[in-house]
Structure 1
Amino acid sequence: MQTRIDAITQILDEKKAEDIQIFDMRGKDYFTDFVILATTLTQRHALSLIDELKTKLKAKGEEFLSIESSEDWSVIDLGDIIIHLLSEQYRLKYNIEELLNSLEKQKLGS
């Protein structure tokens, strides 16, 4: 799993995504094992990131279950990993980190 996470974050970093964060949601009350957040510069930048992720990760056998994309927010579903690519404005507006941080600190059964 860590190899997959590292590959994703390396691609995002090389393509100039900003403020990349990884959240380990295993054992938490959440629908996926890992969430990766990154800030995009423009919609074109987000589309470029998606293309690069698809090209490099599919070559490694990664299966893309779904990709939803809008001007300010793209979500890539790899099943056990969800990648959110957000514009800076949307990232500030929705503050997903706060929710994920609170869930990440939860202990199962608490």
Structure 2
Amino acid sequence: AAAAALEQGFALLEGERDRLAAEQRALEEQAHALTRRFHVDQHHAEKRVKALEFNMQLKQDLIRNLVKTEQGLHAANEQQQQRIGDLERDIAALRAQRDR
């Protein structure tokens, strides 16, 4: 009877050991899968960050070009206004000479 009880106890312990080993394998597989997924997600995030950095640099370059263009247009507009003012003064002087 005692031997049978020991055999039954060993069988239960072996069953528990096998169940725990299977559970450990399942957890290890799950951990590996999560690790792989993390690395894939991390890679995608790094690619997205690089794309965003590129887009930011591109937009900064475009803004700089727009500012330069605006400054150039403003300077050209001032020159045109100056030229118009000079021409209007020349016209007024010519009319004054004509009317003498």
What TM-score range do you get, normalising by the shorter chain? under 0.3
Relative to the length of structure 2, the TM-score reads: 0.20
Relative to the length of structure 1, the TM-score reads: 0.18
Q: Per residue, is there more helix in 1 or in 2?
A: 2
Q: Per residue, is there more strand in 1 or in 2?
A: 1
The structure having more radius of gyration, on CA atoms, is 2
